[in-house]
Structure 1
């Protein structure tokens, strides 16, 4: 080996190993004990099934629309700051973020949802 190749080898050996690569290697002491044969090391997906008290997207949309109708009746408009929270049946809903997200995703909304917001006087 020439002196250039030896310096290259020494430089490669002295480089720090990325934490990501070292912690993800199977069988390393810092990753915990190995799984018994036949069992997977994978963690169960938390989002695979909704918790018991969680609502569907359609239910959340209807709750947010109820809040939007409520503020429209009270104030006459839907101009609310992003941090605005509206009380609907004792539950505080993030109406400001709902309105802001609807404006941001207006092209992706279904025609029915877009029409329901238009009926409330939504300014896009």
Structure 2
């Protein structure tokens, strides 16, 4: 599940140049077959992309920052996550 959510964060960062995601933002992650669920349980929409509640996920990650592994924290630091 982390990999899919991180991919959505990376996609947002590549497009916007930052990781200041509004709390209600949903990222449409391309690359998933139409009408299927990915391993994390996220459902593909009618057009095929997976819908990731990126703002919610990042807010939750921010709140759990002290419990993240060094590797996961480094992945978000690479995207210039604001802690």
Per-residue deviation at 1:98? 1.0
Q: How many residues are aligned here?
A: 65
- Aligned equivalent of 2:72: 113
Deviations 1:25-59 (A, max 9, x none): xxxxxxxxxxxxxxxxxxxxxxxxxxxxxxxxxxx
What's the TM-score, normalizing by structure 1? 0.51
- What is the CA–CA distance in structure 2 between the aligned matches of 1:92 and 1:106, rounded to whole Å? 24
User: Bigger radius of gyration, 1 or 2?
Assistant: 1
Per-residue deviation at 1:113? 0.3
What's the TM-score, normalizing by structure 2? 0.75
Extract unaligned runs of 5+ from structure 2: 31-48
Q: Which is helix-richer, 1 or 2?
A: 1
Extract unaligned runs of 5+ from structure 1: 1-59
